[in-house]
Amino acid sequence: MAEDTLIQVEGVSKKFCRGLKRSLWYGVQDLGNELRGRAHAHLDELRPEEFWALRDINFEVKRGECIGLLGRNGAGKSTLLKVLTGLIKPDAGRALTRGRVGALIELGGGFNPILSGRENIYIGGSVLGFSQAEIQKKFDEIVAFSELEDFIDMPVQNYSSGMKVRLGFSVAVNLEPDVLFLDEVLAVGDAGFRIKSYNKMSELLSRCAVVFVSHSMTVVARVCSSVALLKNGHVVYLGNDVASGIEQYLDMFDSGPMMIEFNEKAQLHNIRVGCDRGGDHEDDVPSFRYQDDLYIEMDATVDAGHSAFYVAFSIVDKDMKPVAQYASNNFEQEFRNTGESMRIRINVPQCLLTNGEYSLNIALAEPFDRDVGGNELSQTLALYKNCARFKVQGFRGTQWAPFHLPCRVEIDSHNAN
């Protein structure tokens, strides 16, 4: 292992058995094989009810790097973390770590529930190899980071899930580990503590190696320098292009069918996204290049009782977060209802979305009115969610800066010093 390589995984495989009784029997057989010097018997073959949780996993993490483990539930991420931390033994291959290890891979993991938070800090530090004097030196910093000063002498069994995360993360990161393993447990903490935790991770990256498991792609893009995408126990992508890894992960999920929440007063048909260049198609999803001029086109019918309407849409990413929106009434643009079917076309110049797949939510609504109290009133005539999908490719910037705003800068040279 190279001097700056703190984690090295070579050909790691792990299999499990679905049935408890058969699993116990296989365990007895494997133990007997080990005692007879045949530890690798039946290694490459699956016995009845067995399956590969991990299969031939290879990667390494150097000091200053953070690798994100991505994959659907059951892909093998938590199993791999348990192999890396030594909680379970791989059936083949090896996982090596160098230096002190901090880990938070299970809610409340490593805590003695009947002991206080104070006592668990000393126990956790001792497990990591710190002396009592070293833990005492860091004690106040750990407690302050966890924000549990008023509860530090209370038994951990009385802590909420968020309080356990605070204490566990504080111990793991403030005792200056060389290697840090973090599972999705941070999702239990409140927003303020998560922000502080991610900032602490960024600070630690200069001196340790981090393996991070999360289903929040925003956080993965923020803290990870590389990603490993797992599917059914196999690594299907490994590389430093975090944006590409995230895109492949999100492609594993279907956006779902179109949902219609309002269409009593108006109906939309033949909704599609296109570009004058024509675009490409991948799996029946149109694909456009970054900065293409796009258009959204649809046929609409509005009930005769509504003389005018405006058009609004939002673009949503695979995480179901809105990334752009438009409403014609904000630009004093309203449309007269003819009572007949109309073709509506919305031009979107220079699409500035980053690489990925997106979907559209489109609404028609009547113009705003005001009641006697001055409150704005409006009625949604039609709302179609996830009504069209499209992909964007060709973005070469940083994943944390998706938009280039069309700004104009003016400088008065007479006031320059």
Q: What one-character-per-residue DSSP string does 237-304 give?
A: EEES-HHHHHHHHHTTS-----EEEE-SSEEEEEEEEEETT--EEETTEEEEETT--EEEEEEEEE-T
* Range with the largest mean pLDDT of 91-95, 170-174, 243-247: 91-95
**CA neighbours closer than 13 Å in the CB half-sphere of residue 386:** 14
> What is the reported pLDDT for 252?
85
Task: Round to whole Å and give the CA distance between 286 and 354.
Answer: 15
Q: In this predicted model, what pLDDT tens digit does every residue of 35-52 receive, in sequence order? A: 777 765 566 778 888 889
The residue-averaged pLDDT of 315-337 equals 86
Does residue 7 carry a pLDDT above 90? Answer: yes
Strand, helix or coil at 375?
Answer: coil
Does residue 96 carry a pLDDT above 90? Answer: yes
**CA neighbours closer than 13 Å in the CB half-sphere of residue 69:** 30
Task: Round to whole Å and give the CA distance between 11 and 326.
Answer: 50
- C-beta atoms surrounding 356 within 10 Å: 21
Domains and CATH numbers, the chain: 5-250 (3.40.50.300), 259-393 (2.70.50.60)
> What is the reported pLDDT for 412?
54
Do the beta carbons of residue 363 and residue 313 sit within 8 Å? yes
Of 228, 181, 213, 232, nearest in space to 55 by CA: 232
Of 68, 57, 16, nearest in space to 246 by CA: 68
When pLDDT is cut at 50, 70 and 90, the band that residue 370 belongs to is low
Contacts of 289 (CB under 8 A, 6+ apart): 277, 392, 393, 394
Task: Round to whole Å and give the CA distance between 355 and 288.
Answer: 10
> What is the reported pLDDT for 334?
85
When pLDDT is cut at 50, 70 and 90, the band that residue 397 belongs to is low
> What is the reported pLDDT for 400?
47
- Comparing 19-28, 111-120, 232-241, the range with the smallest average pLDDT is 19-28
Beta bridge partners of 184: none
- The 8-class DSSP code of residue 151 comes to G
> What is the reported pLDDT for 416?
45
> What is the reported pLDDT for 409?
56
Q: In this predicted model, what pLDDT tens digit does every residue of 252-295 receive, in sequence order? A: 887 778 888 888 899 999 999 998 777 777 767 889 998 898 99
Mean pLDDT of the chain: 84
